[in-house]
Amino acid sequence: MKPNRDQQLKIFEIFHSLQGESHFVGLPTVFVRLTGCPLRCTWCDTEYAFFGGQWMTFDDIIKQVKQHNTPYVCVTGGEPLAQKRVFPLMDRLVAEGLTVSLETAGSLSVEKVNPAVHKVLDLKAPGSGEVSKNLYENLALLTPKDQVKFVIADEADYLWSKQTMDKYKLNEQCQILMSPVADVLPAKQLAEWILADQLNVRFQIQLHKHLWGDIPGT
């Protein structure tokens, strides 16, 4: 008997690593990376996941996640929300008692995301080339446990991020993350801008890249 397609997703990889970003940074986490993304950001570091992968049932995904004996699981991509069946998968993961985070670009609605999931919404600054794809209606759906991430390539991106924070009063809703584009904007420069402007944000760098470099699946 063929598996029910309603209980399958196209998965690029499932791997165990340290969370490199967000307020779970440093925690051993299982990453479930879905294949595919509708965006083409100039600085994307997961282009390898745009295509390929294999169809997996929810049961098989959860079985692999549990093999790593950690309560933390991150659903990522690509853009995981591009596959609509990701919503019931996240429901299943939550029902299993796991702490689930979702990394999403913010161009697709998060309305159906299980309220127990920690959303990390990556708003696209102008330097990404995809600023027009931001779905700002998502911001009203954020809760204090969620996060908005700005990936910043230059001063124009930084100023845009500050203006966006103020316009939507994001600090009143959730935690704000700011990251430099690796090998484009020096991390020290972004840190100095944040301190000079006394921004109430969390500066972050990609821990996994400092540990393992640009190796997929780490």
Binding residues for substrate: 18-20, 33, 76
Annotated binding residues for [4Fe-4S] cluster: 37, 41, 44
d(CA 186, CA 158): 13
SS in 3 state form for 177-215? EEEECCCCCCHHHHHHHHHHCCCCCEECCCHHHHHHCCC
E-only strand ranges, 66-190:
72-76, 99-104, 118-123, 147-152, 175-180
CB 45 within 8 A of CB 74: no
Binding site, annotated residues for S-adenosyl-L-methionine: 43-45, 78
Q: Residue 159 phi/psi, 5° resolution?
A: -65, -40
CA distance 97 to 41: 34
In contact, 118 and 142? CB cutoff 8 Å: no
φ, ψ dihedrals at 86, nearest 5°: -65, -25
CB–CB of 100/75 below 8 Å? yes
Please provide residue 19's backbone torsions phi and psi, each rounded to the nearest 5 degrees: -65, 125
Annotated binding site: 18-20, 33, 37, 41, 43-46, 76, 78
* CA dist., res. 50 & res. 206, Å (int): 21
- Binding annotation for Mg(2+): 46
